[in-house]
Amino acid sequence: IGTASPGAKMHVSAGNVKVDSGYGIDFSATNDGTTMSSELLNDYEEGSFDPVILGTSSNPTVSYTARGAKYVKVGSTVHVTVRLYWGSISSGSGDMQIAGFPFTSGAINGNWWTGAVGYTAASHWDSGKQPQKCMLAASDTGMKLWVADGSYAVAVGDHDDGSGELYLQITYHTF
């Protein structure tokens, strides 16, 4: 397929269009915005990973019943959905963190990326300590759980030793 640069090649193979590494789809003809940093779409990926529950001071012992997460990365934007079921959780200390994300979050003036807790089984959380949102710090691969008003992070000890489940989603950037 014709290109302006002989070094940049596009291939059609088995009905798929492939662009050589380091290249992408260039949208610069639209000339949008004066603060843009790029108009080159050069990455797309879908995948899955097994998230883990950690404590920021010491890790708990977790017996997972089921766990899984899926992600879609388009350019520098990553969207993650997480599903966790556990039969028991014990020990551990510090803030509860859901970790194992495939990409490190980007740093924007030290701010946090925020997400939502879509569902959690309430029966095993201490009163008033059921997580309602999740936050991913800059330059991190795991998110903390927070109570609704954001006044504090949920600690590993805020959940008794019984079973639990969480459904979470978050979108963040890698730049």
Q: Which two tokens stand for residue 23?
A: 């290249």
Angle at 51 between CA 122 and CA 116, to 5 degrees: 50
What integer pLDDT is reported at residue 151 of this predicted model?
A: 77
What integer pLDDT is reported at residue 121 of this predicted model?
A: 79
What integer pLDDT is reported at residue 52 of this predicted model?
A: 97
Question: How much is the pTM?
Answer: 0.84
Residue owning tokens 């990409």: 103
The 3-state DSSP class for residue 29 equals helix
Residue count of the chain, please give it. 175
What integer pLDDT is reported at residue 123 of this predicted model?
A: 66
Concatenating the DSSP letter of every residue in 103-161 gives: SPPPPSTT--EEEEEEEE-GGGBPTT----EEEE-TT-SEEEEE-TT-SSBPBGGGB-S
What integer pLDDT is reported at residue 175 of this predicted model?
A: 82
What integer pLDDT is reported at residue 122 of this predicted model?
A: 62
Nearest to 144 by CA among 25, 77, 48, 53: 53
Could you read off the pLDDT tens digit of each residue along the chain, which spans 175 residues? 544 555 556 777 787 788 787 777 777 777 666 676 777 788 899 999 999 999 999 999 999 999 999 999 999 999 999 999 999 888 889 999 999 999 999 987 767 888 999 998 766 788 778 898 999 998 999 999 998 777 778 888 887 767 888 999 999 999 8
